[in-house]
């Protein structure tokens, strides 16, 4: 029998036959159930339950679902009668007891129950109807779960998560979205902890006595749809800032002294062998900052309240501004600001304290064997005159010689004038 004859015969048979009785065989639809609104799912339409060589039926959908595609199975479908989103399909096949009629993709468009059905079913074999059972499946569309979003946490004590703060108490606060039924929190030193202990909703937390280093606060919220993501807040604790004790008084810089090894380098324009000294709070570490920088200048104030510190070797001549402050643990003294220092290599070299914003008392002279004794130390101007005495003496001799020559010249001229007058 030719192909076209088979098609015509199948159509005539399926259109004219009336089933003798209800049969268990037919077409079924599988793949339904509870789905989320917006979700796409795949259904399978299958003919089975008896041996057949032709089939027909009608696909339809109802409720909050839509058929987005239909892929026909392996039967030979009559023209314009392949399975589709709606309407009748008719096909023939070699005798079989099971056939995939179609694969249907549907999308859930809303909440509620929808149905995909195959009705008007007929399975036939050699012209006799052998199955008429219709098939369907239901799909229940459910609302997309909406869990709470990430909670935004802030802190009045540690506002910057990237910085360490000098306080061991952490205070945190947050605002919960609507519908939250519970929260879970944790506080530890692990960056990625997900808290699990459920507790009643709250809006703040406080943690005291924190150790130095980095800590983390973790929080997430729960509503009827489930748990939201975890927020991790970083809290870093450092040593408290030092505090100025005004009762101590500021340190002083009272004197700059030439040591025995004092020297100048005219070619390099530098001085070496200088020492500064002054007073400060006993037992404190004194730090001296300078502009231009003279490097790190630190020393410890003695129990007698005095200090002395050699300056670095090879200091460039020029003007320097110094500031002094003492510290012991987290206690600071007031700061002595803007002490000006002039260093010069002229006339053998000099170093002079020019000015200070504070009155600077004269401390007890240094006792170091390498320091020029106070009774022998005069102003640097006097020292310069002494160091250059030979120069000044030479200058006086030259001046005296010139004066003597001038006197001799005057006397000679007067003598010549007198002789001329006698000749006349």
pLDDT above 90 (res 382): no
| Domain 3-142 CATH (choose: 2.60.40.680, 3.40.50.150, 2.60.40.10, 3.10.20.30) | 2.60.40.680
- From the list 342, 163, 341, 182, the residue with the least C-alpha distance to 241 is 163
Residue 11 banded pLDDT, cuts 50, 70, 90: very low
The one-character DSSP state at 238 is -
pLDDT of residue 381: 39
pTM of the complete model: 0.51
Domain ranges of the chain: 3-142, 153-237, 244-377, 388-424
Q: Is pLDDT of 60 > 80?
A: yes
Max CA distance (Å), the chain: 188
Measuring CA to CA, which residue among 238, 230, 231, 235 is closest to residue 207?
235
Q: 244-377: which CATH number, 3.40.50.620, 4.10.110.10, 2.60.40.10, 3.20.20.70? A: 2.60.40.10
- Which range among 9-18, 116-125, 178-187, 225-234 shows the weakest confidence by mean pLDDT? 9-18
Q: What is the pLDDT of residues 137-187, one digit of tens each?
A: 999 999 889 999 999 999 999 999 999 999 999 999 999 999 999 999 999
Q: Which residues contact 6 (CB under 8 A, 6 or more apart)?
A: 92
Do 3-142 and 153-237 show the same overall fold?
A: yes
The pair of three-digit structure tokens given for residue 178, joined into one six-digit string: 């609507």
DSSP lists the bridge partners of residue 48 as 26, 98
Given a contact cutoff of 8 angstroms between Cβ atoms, the answer to whether 322 and 290 are in contact is yes
User: 283 is written with which tokens?
Assistant: 């037992």
Is the domain covering 153-237 a CATH 1.10.287.1770 domain?
no
Give the helix/strand (H/E) hosting 390: helix 389-423
């Amino acid at each position: 029998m030719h192909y076209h004859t088979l098609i015509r015969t199948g159509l005539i048979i399926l259109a004219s036959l009336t089933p003798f009785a209800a049969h268990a065989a037919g077409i079924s639809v599988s793949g339904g159930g509870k789905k989320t609104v917006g979700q796409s799912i795949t259904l399978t339409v299958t003919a089975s339950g008896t041996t057949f060589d032709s089939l027909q039926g009608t696909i339809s959908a109802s409720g909050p679902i839509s058929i987005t595609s239909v892929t026909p199975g392996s039967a030979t479908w009559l023209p314009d009668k392949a399975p589709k989103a709606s309407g009748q399909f008719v096909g023939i096949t070699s005798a079989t007891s099971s056939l995939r009629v179609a694969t249907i993709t549907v999308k859930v468009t809303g909440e509620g129950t929808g149905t995909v059905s195959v009705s008007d079913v007929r399975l036939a074999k050699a012209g006799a109807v052998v199955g008429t059972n219709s098939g369907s499946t239901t799909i229940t569309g459910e609302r997309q779960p909406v869990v709470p979003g990430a909670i935004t946490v802030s802190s009045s004590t540690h506002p910057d998560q990237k910085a360490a703060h000098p306080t061991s108490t952490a205070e945190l606060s947050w605002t919960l979205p609507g519908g939250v039924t519970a929260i879970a929190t944790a506080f530890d030193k692990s960056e990625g902890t997900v808290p699990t202990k459920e507790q009643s909703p709250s809006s703040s937390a406080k943690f005291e006595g924190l150790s130095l280093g980095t800590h983390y606060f973790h929080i997430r919220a729960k509503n009827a749809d489930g748990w939201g993501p975890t927020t991790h807040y970083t809290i870093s604790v450092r040593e408290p800032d030092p505090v100025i004790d005004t009762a101590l008084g500021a340190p002083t810089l009272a004197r700059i002294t030439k040591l025995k090894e004092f020297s100048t380098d005219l070619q390099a324009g530098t001085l070496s062998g200088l020492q500064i000294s002054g007073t400060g709070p006993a037992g404190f570490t004194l730090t001296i900052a300078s502009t231009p920088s003279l490097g790190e200048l630190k020393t410890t104030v003695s129990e007698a309240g005095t200090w002395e510190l050699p300056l670095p070797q090879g200091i460039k001549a020029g003007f320097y501004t110094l500031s002094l402050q003492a510290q012991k643990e987290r206690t600071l003294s007031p700061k002595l600001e803007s002490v000006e220092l002039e260093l010069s290599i002229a006339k053998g070299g000099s170093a002079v304290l020019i000015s200070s914003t504070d009155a600077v008392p004269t401390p007890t002279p240094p006792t170091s064997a390498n320091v020029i004794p106070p009774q022998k130390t005069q102003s640097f101007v006097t020292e310069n005159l002494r160091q250059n005495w030979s120069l000044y003496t030479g200058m006086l001799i030259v001046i005296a010689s010139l004066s003597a020559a001038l006197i001799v010249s005057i006397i000679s001229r007067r003598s010549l004038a007198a002789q001329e007058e006698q000749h006349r």
